[in-house]
Amino acid sequence: MAELEYAYGSEPYAVRLVGSSPTVRTMKKQPNLRIILLGGLGEVGRNMMLLEWQGKILICDMGFRMPEEDMPGIDYIVPNISYLKDKKKNILGVVFTHGHYDHIGAVPYLMEKIWHPGLEIYASPLTRGIILKRQGDFPNQPKLDIAEVRDGSKVKLGPFRVEFFRQNHNIPDNLGLFIETPIGNILHTSDFKFDPAPVNDLPTNFQKLKSFGRRKILLLMSDSTGAEENNHSLSEKTIEKNLEEIFKYSSGRIIAATFASLINRIQQIITLSEKYGRKVCVEGYSMKTNVEISKILGYLKIKKGTLVKAKELANYPDGKVTVLCTGAQGEGSAILMKIASREHPFIRLRKGDSVILSSSVIPGNERTVQMLKDDILRHGVKVFHYKMMDIHAGGHAQQDELREMIKIMRPKFFLPIHGQYSMLAAHTELAREMGLSERNALIAENGQIINLNPKKISIEKQKVPSNYVMVDGLGIGDVGDVVLRDRQMLAKDGMFVIVTVIDKTTGKVKGSPDIISRGFVYLRESKELLRETRKKVIEIVNRTTGSGGAVNWSYVKDEIRNKIGQFFYTKTQRRPMILPVVIEV
């Protein structure tokens, strides 16, 4: 009788038959489930994940992120889906966890590229409502058939069986995913926190979570956004108490800025306004639509007569008014910025007002938020920021809860998702402290191919494209690195256009070159510099064209660009973008 024995200690795949036959046989290599995150790793936002089994693909979430501060003119950044090109037919479906834009924001930019009639899409009622409403705001979008799922719903998509379960967060209708795959079970937490006292929602269902834990979790993918905070996230009830302090002591108007998708915060501000006899004016397109959808679907409870329009505000005393608006991140186009910079048609800040900035600052936005705060304070207005009081819970589990989640799920493998690299690292550290080996708790990056089988998790050397795809107005991806670099250069040192007219017959400069410049130097006060520049341009052109014969115009332009560039740098230590224009007459 043959016995099986591992050939080399821990190496699980090569097996030797011992006894009758001395031959060494290698068992067929176990197929892998491929997991690819196109965004959301090493950044906050742009969450999109692919699960691929033998060519069949399931997508989870399609989010966007805000641009960084050095990306002039860019509206959003969306995931790069070039890996999915030519694989359309193999995409079984898309499941959405919740209605935050870092999970659904890229739908109007990407869905039409992967959509086919057989594509199945699943979302909770509120998430569905938000996606469909936005979809309607964009031209030429495919009509999406999104099936509703809720706590306990189960759907089968090819080799994947997905069970949705309720997770507390700061938006209602947030769903975690328990995914049965041919190699084992995966648990995806979605964004979450454990909340014993949520708003308009049930407390965390630990029994349910434990039941998943008992079903053997091969891989836990858990939200890392709060992994660097070493306590427990605040309950929504506690936040409401803190907010109430502001309502209690404010005699002027209250202007509360938050994310349009923080439905729970919006609810709390409306409830408190009603309690303190204030009318509420909702300002900002996305805020208005989200309030409307949530109200219709029953996720927001608003008394009749509470909501008023901005132009009616003048009819009420300051102490009876709350303005609920977007712009807590200092976004240039948002309502709070318009109010602070006196561009809003009806609302001006004045002494006695209280401004609440209720949202944690997204990494990269710190400076803009600081400037916004300063601007508001200049109006003699009180500012309440989340750092001063816990008026924003973040909505994300902190270390205590993350540990608890790992303890409940007891996964074999662990992969931190959603967050900056430092957050992923802190989360992995927690998992390792709790006994997962270094090999079993990995940190992956966007675009890496993660191979998973019951024995092993590993990362392939090869990556799929995951670089930024930038959205500017109606253009998706047409603003690439080159355009962006130009914009950065223009923003930094301005531009300088030199128009030179050359006489065809002599090859010499006719007259004096024209100069147009923006953002480089103030022309009227730089006469000497301009005089020298003109002189240099004439010299360069006459030297390079004067020898007769055919003239290489691109060489002439390069010479102008290089020589004048050097000249400007020695004179001003600035590097404007130089655009030489040469006209032959």
The single residue of 103, 392, 396, 427 carrying the catalytic annotation is 396
Query: What binding mask, one character per residue, do residues 44-83 give for Zn ion by CB under 5 A, x or -?
Result: ----------------------------------------
Nearest approach in angstroms of CB 150 to Zn ion is: 17
Written as six digits, the tokens of 7 are: 């050939």
Between residue 102 and residue 121, which ones bind Zn ion under the rule CB under 5 A? 102
Q: Which of 102, 353 has the CB closer to Zn ion?
A: 102
Q: Which of 48, 81 has the CB closer to Zn ion?
A: 48
What is the distance between the alpha carbons of residues 13 and 455, in angstroms, rounded to a whole number? 9
The two beta strands, 33-39 and 48-53, are antiparallel
Binding Zn ion by CB under 5 A: which of 61, 163, 191, 375? 191
The size of the interface with Zn ion (CB under 5 A), counted in residues, is 3
Q: Which of 43, 353 has the CB closer to Zn ion?
A: 43
Mind spelling out the 3-state secondary structure of 247-308? HHHCCCCEEEECCCCCHHHHHHHHHHHHHCCCEEEEECHHHHHHHHHHHHCCCCCCCCCCEC
Nearest approach in angstroms of CB 299 to Zn ion is: 15
Sign of the C-alpha dihedral computed for residues 93, 95, 101 and 102 taken in this order: negative
Nearest approach in angstroms of CB 218 to Zn ion is: 24
Stretch that binds Zn ion, among 183-191, 213-221, 324-332, 405-413 (CB under 5 A): 183-191
Stretch that binds Zn ion, among 95-103, 320-328, 347-355, 548-556 (CB under 5 A): 95-103
Query: Three-state DSSP class for 462?
Result: strand
Nearest approach in angstroms of CB 59 to Zn ion is: 16
Q: Which of 100, 557 has the CB closer to Zn ion?
A: 100
Q: Which of 191, 331 has the CB closer to Zn ion?
A: 191
Query: Three-state DSSP class for 535?
Result: helix
CA distances from 13 to 31, 217, 414, 482 (A): 11, 22, 22, 47
Q: Which secondary structure element, helix H or strand E, spans residue 402, and what is its range?
A: helix 399-409
Written as six digits, the tokens of 314 are: 């003048």
Nearest approach in angstroms of CB 37 to Zn ion is: 13
**Is 86 labeled as catalytic in the residue annotation?**
no
Q: What's the distance, Cα to Cα, between the start and end of the chain in Å?
A: 97
Written as six digits, the tokens of 352 are: 């006695």
Nearest approach in angstroms of CB 318 to Zn ion is: 34
Query: Three-state DSSP class for 459?
Result: strand
Q: Which of 359, 466 has the CB closer to Zn ion?
A: 359
Tell me how far apart the 2 most distant CA atoms of the chain are, in Å: 101
CB within 8 A of 539, min separation 6: which ones?
none
Q: Which secondary structure element, helix H or strand E, spans residue 95, and what is its range?
A: strand 91-95
Judged by CB under 5 A, does residue 100 bind Zn ion? yes
Query: Three-state DSSP class for 554?
Result: helix
- E-only strand ranges, 40-90: 48-53, 56-60, 76-78
CA distances from 493 to 73, 83, 291 (A): 16, 37, 43
Q: Which of 112, 228 has the CB closer to Zn ion?
A: 228
What is the distance between the alpha carbons of residues 263 and 113, in angstroms, rounded to a whole number? 30
Tell me the β-bridge partners of 58. 51, 93
Nearest approach in angstroms of CB 174 to Zn ion is: 7
Stretch that binds Zn ion, among 96-104, 265-273, 282-290, 429-437 (CB under 5 A): 96-104
Q: Which of 100, 134 has the CB closer to Zn ion?
A: 100
Nearest approach in angstroms of CB 429 to Zn ion is: 21
What is the distance between the alpha carbons of residues 258 and 280, in angstroms, rounded to a whole number? 14
CB within 8 A of 114, min separation 6: which ones?
59, 81, 84, 88, 91, 94
153 half-sphere exposure, CB direction, 13 A CA radius: 20
Stretch that binds Zn ion, among 97-105, 198-206, 523-531, 532-540 (CB under 5 A): 97-105
Instruction: Identify the CA nearest to 235 among candidates 423, 400, 409.
Output: 400
**Is 145 labeled as catalytic in the residue annotation?**
no
Query: What binding mask, one character per residue, do residues 238-277 give for Zn ion by CB under 5 A, x or -?
Result: ----------------------------------------
Written as six digits, the tokens of 373 are: 């705060």
Q: Which of 168, 273 has the CB closer to Zn ion?
A: 168
Tell me the β-bridge partners of 416. 222
Q: Which of 99, 284 has the CB closer to Zn ion?
A: 99
Judged by CB under 5 A, does residue 195 bind Zn ion? no
Nearest approach in angstroms of CB 225 to Zn ion is: 7
Radius of gyration of the chain (CA): 30
Judged by CB under 5 A, does residue 236 bind Zn ion? no
The single residue of 61, 173, 191, 223 carrying the catalytic annotation is 223
Stretch that binds Zn ion, among 157-165, 187-195, 302-310, 554-562 (CB under 5 A): 187-195
Between residue 349 and residue 388, which ones bind Zn ion under the rule CB under 5 A? none
CA 278 from chain centre, in angstroms, equals 34
What is the distance between the alpha carbons of residues 495 and 56, in angstroms, rounded to a whole number? 50
Nearest approach in angstroms of CB 483 to Zn ion is: 29
The residues that touch Zn ion, with contacts defined as CB under 5 A, are 100, 102, 191
Q: Which active-site residues does the annotation give?
A: 223, 396
